[in-house]
Structure 1
């Protein structure tokens, strides 16, 4: 029988492979199935469903193969005021740090805006339901998988909390490389590191889900309200 460490290692690999497959191949698959080869709100909505399916598969793997708790670190309870302060603090750190990193990258590389981000901004224009669905999917699925599932298992495998933090953040950054720019890898890596450090210290996945949702929602609303041509420094 496979050891528990072997099950954890396979689970981490399976999670990354499934997420990478969705990022790379879900659009061609959806185009093939629907026959509509266009970047439409409906097709984009299907990609969010695909991410929920990945989470469902990893939950099934955990239940049937690992046969243990999905969240190895039980969520700690905090007062409501702590939630509010933590979400605001995390948001400010990620927004300010991300903006500074983006500015540095712009100065060093003169990198333009991601073509994929330009496409997405047109699809989301005034489509508030899709914006909310997308932000909630990113917050819930990515945090449950990256921080809730992968980080503690990596730490368990290597008996080192720093490796858990670095690997989960690195995978988070790599998965965003499909946007095609350096900034869309470096900034998610930074945010992933901040979130992983917070999760290690406070062990509360709900706060990370809320903050991730808020960060993406504010970003999406800015893209929705401002002409894409004026967002090169965003």
Structure 2
């Protein structure tokens, strides 16, 4: 009989593995199934559905295998004013910190903008439904899985919050490596650290979901009005 700690470890491994597989192969798989060639709105939308399926699978794993709550940390309630202050603070920390980090990277490495991002820009142009759906998917799925599920279980396994914060943030950065640039790994790693520290301190996943959505939504909306070469900081 596997111990609860063992189940946590298996759950973390499975979550990361299937998320990484989705990042790498979901779009090609959808393209093969639909028969629609190239990067289209339909194919991208369906590829995001796979992330929701992963979330459901992990949720079922917690119920039937772990036999525990999905969120091990009980959600702490805060006032509306705290939500506003927390979301804005997190947003600007990530924006300013990410911008400085990106500037440092560009100072040492002549890095081009991710080809994957450039190829995605046309399908998001003035497609507000796809923008909102994509941002909601990333915010809800990634926060529930990486902070809500992975981080809390790492903390139980190692009995060390710092280890949980670092490992979950490293995994979060690696998942974004499919964009093919160093910035797209170190940027999410930095955001992962900020979010993980906040989650440990304040135990509120909803604030992180709102902020994650805000970060992605503002960046993607700006793609409608500003040339992509000026958006590297995002």
The reply on whether 1:145 has 2:124 as its aligned counterpart is no
Post-superposition offset of 1:27: 1.4
Match in the other structure for 1:226:
226
CA distance in 2, matches of 1:113, 1:9: 35
Which residue does the alignment assign to 2:50? Answer: 50
Compute the TM-score of the two structures, normalised by the length of structure 1: 0.98
Pairs aligned (count): 234
The runs of at least 4 aligned residues of structure 1 exceeding 4 Å deviation read: none
Q: Distance in 1 between matches of 2:195 and 2:27?
A: 28
Return the alpha-carbon distance in structure 2 between the equivalents of residues 50 and 89 of structure 1.
31
Any conservation in 2 of the 1:106–1:233 contact (CA below 8 Å)?
no
Pairwise CA distance, 1:218: 0.5
Cα separation, 2, equivalents of 1:62 and 1:142: 17
CA-based RMSD of the aligned residues comes to 0.9
What TM-score, normalized to structure 2?
A: 0.98
1:32-85 CA distances to partner (integer Å, 9 max, x unpaired)? Answer: 101112100111101110000000000010110011110000100011100000
- The alignment status of 1:105 with 2:100, answered yes or no, reads no
Which structure 1 segments of 5+ residues have no match? none
Whole-angstrom CA distance in 1 between matches of 2:199 and 2:233: 30
Q: For the Cα contact (< 8 Å) 2:113–2:229, is it kept in 1?
A: no
Tell me the secondary structure at the aligned position of residue 141 of structure 2: helix
> Could you say which residue in structure 2 is the equivalent of 1:21?
21
What are structure 2's unaligned runs of at least 5 residues? Answer: none
Partner of 2:117: 117
Query: Could you tell me whether the CA contact under 8 Å between 2:151 and 2:164 is conserved in 1?
Result: yes
With over 3 angstroms needed to count, the CA separation of the structure-2 counterparts of 1:155 and 1:228, relative to structure 1, is same
